[in-house]
Amino acid sequence: MLLSFEKYYSEHADPGMQNMWIVKPFVEHKETALSYEETLQLIELSLDKGLESTFNSMSNSKFWRRMKNEYPNLHEITMRFRLCFSTTYSYLCETAFSAMTVLKTKQRNLLQISDFLRLAITSMHPRFNKLRERQEQQKSH
- pTM for the model stands at 0.49
- Residue by residue, pLDDT tens for the chain (141 residues) are 555 555 555 555 555 567 788 888 888 877 787 888 998 999 999 999 999 999 999 988 899 989 999 999 999 888 887 765 555 556 667 777 777 777 777 656 666 777 777 777 777 777 778 877 877 666 665
Alpha-carbon distances of 19 from 23, 25, 33, 117, rounded to whole Å: 8, 10, 7, 33
Length, in residues, of the chain: 141
Give CA 121 to chain center in angstroms. 17
Are the C-beta atoms of 45 and 51 separated by less than 8 Å?
A: yes
Alpha helices in 48-71 (DSSP H): 49-56, 60-66
Instruction: Provide the pLDDT for residue 5.
Output: 53
Domain range annotation of the chain: 2-137
Nearest to 25 by CA among 37, 39, 13: 39
